[in-house]
């Protein structure tokens, strides 16, 4: 019986993690559940056993975009890909991992994620004794089911897949504002949407799919996602063959015998272990004083990162929502303009939007209206296929 373990990770250590064991042969759920945070992933180690581990990650931690790249000469052009996307991304491209997705005509889908976020996900799994076979953005595992879009509620997020290789995760409270802006303009034909939870999306033709557990839907669709973040520097190394492993184990055993024969070395190791234990106790004591109410320490390093993240991120969400509310009037006055992606930097108080419209004048009109409430700067404008795109950066006055 072929069984697989699926795990869904959030972007932060303290966010809940869902899991599901799926039988490929029987097409049914063997077991499922939810963990309070990434520190509890170790409870899945025994359950993983010899099953392949496939990981889905929150699309809210990723940037998904497209670049115009002819298929001819693609291999050479891919080397310059980070610099082609530099204006569209808030983070420094040198600190980001880029993965090429599916091609749609002249458009090539690209997923970008910071190295820090990738290393966090891999660190959580490694500390739990889990090894991922693939890591896939959750929205791209939504089956399109012969529709143009696919949508599903996952916790407090709306997962939206807008093509074979693009999509995003939108806070549920803001879906009514953001989703209409993503719909194509100028055509009479409505976008067909495969929905996996009960919902209505104005301006679209909804095709309701069988209601199942959200993670079960993603488990079914993951093989057709067409992308794996474990590429490049994160591509897993090939495992040694069974025969080599046996010889390696024998060599390790021989090495241990030699080490144990050296009594003086053993004494030094014992002393070092005692010092490490003492330092660990002191570190945990300092952490409890710095974070009152911390009774249980599972992974000191990850928990310290989590607490620092909370301090650094305070207030960012409120400022983003306030900026979006202020921009609603500008969007209403220029209905032909729509945002393709949003990135908010809470440290700078800066909102970066990639927008598209039918003409340069519409983008300039929106920039003039938004300039009443914000300091607006625009990147280069590009025109292709009767569409003009640009990147706008807004800061509060």
* Cα 129 to Cα 43: distance, rounded to the nearest angstrom: 10
Of 341, 357, 328, nearest to 393 (Cα)? 341
* Cα 249 to Cα 251: distance, rounded to the nearest angstrom: 5
Q: Is the dihedral of CA 254, 256, 257, 258 positive or negative?
A: positive
Which stretches in the chain have pLDDT values below 50? 240-243, 290, 311-315
319 CB-near residues (< 8 Å, 6+ apart): 344, 346, 349, 396
- When computed from its CA atoms, the radius of gyration of the chain, rounded to whole angstroms, is 25
User: What are residue 142's phi and psi, to 5 degrees?
Assistant: -70, 120
What's the pLDDT score for residue 56?
Answer: 97
What's the pLDDT score for residue 268?
Answer: 72
* Cα 112 to Cα 102: distance, rounded to the nearest angstrom: 14
Of 204, 227, 72, nearest to 134 (Cα)? 227
What's the pLDDT score for residue 125?
Answer: 96
pTM of this prediction exceeds 0.85: no
Pairing of strands 17-23, 28-35: antiparallel
6 CB-near residues (< 8 Å, 6+ apart): 19, 20, 21, 22, 54, 55, 56, 215, 218, 219, 222
What's the pLDDT score for residue 32?
Answer: 94
Digit-coded pLDDT (tens) for 255-272: 677 767 776 776 777 777
Digit-coded pLDDT (tens) for 204-262: 999 999 989 999 999 999 998 989 999 989 998 765 444 455 556 666 766 677 767 77
Of 149, 153, 186, 147, nearest to 172 (Cα)? 153
The structure tokens 């729509």 sit at: 338
Q: What is the dihedral of CA 39, 44, 49, 50, to 10 degrees?
A: -80
Of 331, 67, 379, nearest to 179 (Cα)? 331
Question: What is the chain's length?
Answer: 397
* Cα 88 to Cα 392: distance, rounded to the nearest angstrom: 9
């Amino acid at each position: 019986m072929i069984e697989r373990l699926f795990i869904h990770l959030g972007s932060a250590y303290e966010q809940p993690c869902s899991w599901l064991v799926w039988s490929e042969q029987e097409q049914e759920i063997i077991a499922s559940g939810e963990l309070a945070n990434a520190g509890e992933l170790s409870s899945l180690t025994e359950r993983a056993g010899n099953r392949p581990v496939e990981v889905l990650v929150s699309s809210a931690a990723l940037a998904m975009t497209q670049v115009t790249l002819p298929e001819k000469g693609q291999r050479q052009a891919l080397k310059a890909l980070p610099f082609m996307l530099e204006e569209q991304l808030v983070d420094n491209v040198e600190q980001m991992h880029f993965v090429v997705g599916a091609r749609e005509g002249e458009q090539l889908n690209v997923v970008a994620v910071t190295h820090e976020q990738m290393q966090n996900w891999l660190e959580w799994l490694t500390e739990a004794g889990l090894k991922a076979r693939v890591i896939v953005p959750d929205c791209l595992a939504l089956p399109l089911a012969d529709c143009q879009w696919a949508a599903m509620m996952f916790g407090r997020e709306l997962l939206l897949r807008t093509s074979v290789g693009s999509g995003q995760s939108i806070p549920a409270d803001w879906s009514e504002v953001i989703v209409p802006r993503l719909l194509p303009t100028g055509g009479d034909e409505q976008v067909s949407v495969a929905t996996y939870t009960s919902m209505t999306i104005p301006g679209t033709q909804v095709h309701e799919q069988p209601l199942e557990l959200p993670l079960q839907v993603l488990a079914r669709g993951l093989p057709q996602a067409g992308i794996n973040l474990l590429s490049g520097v994160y591509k897993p190394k090939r495992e040694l063959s069974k025969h080599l492993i046996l010889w390696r184990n024998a060599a390790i055993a021989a090495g241990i015998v030699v080490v144990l024969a050296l009594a003086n070395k053993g004494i030094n190791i014992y002393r070092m272990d005692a010092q490490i234990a003492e330092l660990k106790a002191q570190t945990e004591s300092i952490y409890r004083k710095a974070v009152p109410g911390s009774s249980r320490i599972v992974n000191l390093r990850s928990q310290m990162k989590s607490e620092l993240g909370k301090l650094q991120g305070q207030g960012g969400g409120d400022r983003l929502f306030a900026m979006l509310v202020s921009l609603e009037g500008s969007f209403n006055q220029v209905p032909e303009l729509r945002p393709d992606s949003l990135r908010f930097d809470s440290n700078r108080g800066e909102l970066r939007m990639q927008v598209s419209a039918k003409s340069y004048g519409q983008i300039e009109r929106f920039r003039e209206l938004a300039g009443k409430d914000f300091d607006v700067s625009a990147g280069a404008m590009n025109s292709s296929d009767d569409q003009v795109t640009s990147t706008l950066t807004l800061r509060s006055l």
